[in-house]
A and B are shown apart, each in its own frame.
Chain A
Amino acid sequence: GAVVSQHPSRVICKSGTSVKIECRSLDFQATTMFWYRQFPKQSLMLMATSNEGSKATYEQGVEKDKFLINHASLTLSTLTVTSAHPEDSSFYICSARLAVTQYFGPGTRLLVL
């Protein structure tokens, strides 16, 4: 099956710092990637849809200036959490679409102290 990688897998940072998370499709090209957030014992929440070569589409309630998304190539999308705060601590998961199927990265656990 298609493989999606995510880096880093875990990050701990101080409040106020920015954190960049990378999502790569390893064996296919993805014009569309998705960023999700999942809090403990809750369901996946779509944050934004990342489109190669154009601006990301953010879901209602997600601050685009806080969660910066860049999809500069067909195999890489990045999510930058700017000025992170403890409430941003969560499990961030990306996915890439191949045809109609989404394949997920292994996720990044962010802890903001």
Chain B
Amino acid sequence: RKEVEQDPGPFNVPEGATVAFNCTYSNSASQSFFWYRQDCRKEPKLLMSVYSSGNEDGRFTAQLNRASQYISLLIRDSKLSDSATYLCVVGGFKTIFGAGTRLFVKA
């Protein structure tokens, strides 16, 4: 089993749609959680940290369920510019990156 697993994707959605990404992690001792975004041929960029209480940043909402070792990212009102690969990242002794989920938002 991979240490961090994500939906394989790709997700193809129309503009304005709501899309949800899921991620599970295997190490219960993990302490920090993030979503990164990576555009084609670019470096990953921090999208948001994920807190146990859940957190929201504009159209983006992240949730963490420590008991289930599950992280989610919800994107509302998708824009064309949201098209990218979304990486689930779990930190602890080591930082582990998920393989990423590709999102394509179509006009």
Q: B95–A102 contact, CB under 8 A?
A: yes
The interface centre, meaning the residue of A34, A100, A109 with most chain B CB atoms within 10 A of its CB, is A100
Q: A104–B45 contact, CB under 8 A?
A: yes
Q: A101–B41 contact, CB under 8 A?
A: no
Interface of B is mostly: strand
Docked complex Cα distance between A102 and B34 (Å): 10
Q: A44–B46 contact, CB under 8 A?
A: no
Size category of the binding interface on chain A: 10 to 19
Interface of A is mostly: strand
Size category of the binding interface on chain B: 10 to 19
Docked complex Cα distance between A34 and B87 (Å): 17
Report chain B residues within 8 Å CB of A93: 43-44
Docked complex Cα distance between A109 and B41 (Å): 9
Q: A104–B34 contact, CB under 8 A?
A: no
Give the Cβ gap from B50 to chain A, nearest Cβ, in Å. Answer: 12
* Interface residues of B, Cβ cutoff 8 Å to A: 31-32, 34, 41-46, 49, 87, 89, 91, 95, 97-100
* Interface residues of A, Cβ cutoff 8 Å to B: 1, 34, 43-44, 46, 91, 93, 97, 100-107, 109
